[in-house]
Amino acid sequence: MRRAVCPGSFDPVTWGHLDIIGRASTLYDEVVVAVLINQSKPGMFTIAEREELLREVTAPYGNVVIDSFHGLLVDYCRARDIPVIVKGLRAVSDFDYELQMAQMNNRLAGVQTLFMATNPEFSFLSSSLLKEVARYGGDVSGLVPELVLDALRERVGTAAS
Ligand code: PNS
């Protein structure tokens, strides 16, 4: 079975993430979306909430499974026999750090990283920017699925349009 992992914080999942996950799901038999458990960064949504939102919005793909991990991504990959990490590249500004991580992950465990060019429709989008706009009452509809929009609205009051 050809398996890949899409790792990230997913706090919360956006259409930008789903664009990459959806395209990865056409290339691999199984795509594991792995949410990083970062004790020092609690985030807006708990790990369980992020996983639940991901589970709901990726259900249509059929071959996407949701999980969480802590520690090194390569240890997670090794433990689950996953040889490929799939990442989205939004802009040149993403590239430097992503390249460093890809090279380190390859050196540590021989894991390959596949970069996908983000759909230009979402190249400006990040979860942190999304949360900032939502917190101040900006309109974030169209940037996340309806289910996530509802969760955001609930979390920031009725501010997220
Ligand atoms: O959505 P994010 O926060 O940009 O995702 C970053 C993530 C989770 C992919 C990256 O921080 C990661 O892989 N963290 C796990 C710890 C690790 O393996 N660090 C060494 C990277 S070479």
Three-state SS sequence of the chain? CCEEEEEECCCCCCHHHHHHHHHHHHHCCEEEEEEECCCCCCCCCCHHHHHHHHHHHHHHHCCEEEEEECCCHHHHHHHCCCCEEEEEECCHHHHHHHHHHHHHHHHHHCCEEEEEECCHHHCCCCHHHHHHHHHCCCCCECCECHHHHHHHHHHCCCCCC
Query: pTM of this prediction?
Result: 0.96
Domain coordinates in residue numbering, the chain: 3-122
Q: Give 1 Cα–ligand 1 centroid separation in angstroms.
A: 24
Q: Which of 9, 25, 87, 127 is catalytic?
A: 127
41 is catalytic: yes
What string of pLDDT tens digits covers the 161 residues of the chain?
Answer: 999 999 999 999 999 999 999 999 999 999 999 999 999 998 999 999 999 999 999 999 999 999 999 999 999 999 999 999 999 999 999 999 999 999 999 999 999 999 999 999 999 999 999 999 999 999 999 999 999 999 999 999 854 55
The string of pLDDT tens digits covering residues 81-117 is: 999 999 999 999 999 999 999 999 999 999 999 999 9
Q: Which residues line ligand 1 (CB under 6 A)?
A: 7-9, 36, 72-73, 101, 104-105
Fold entry, domain 3-122: Rossmann fold (3.40.50)
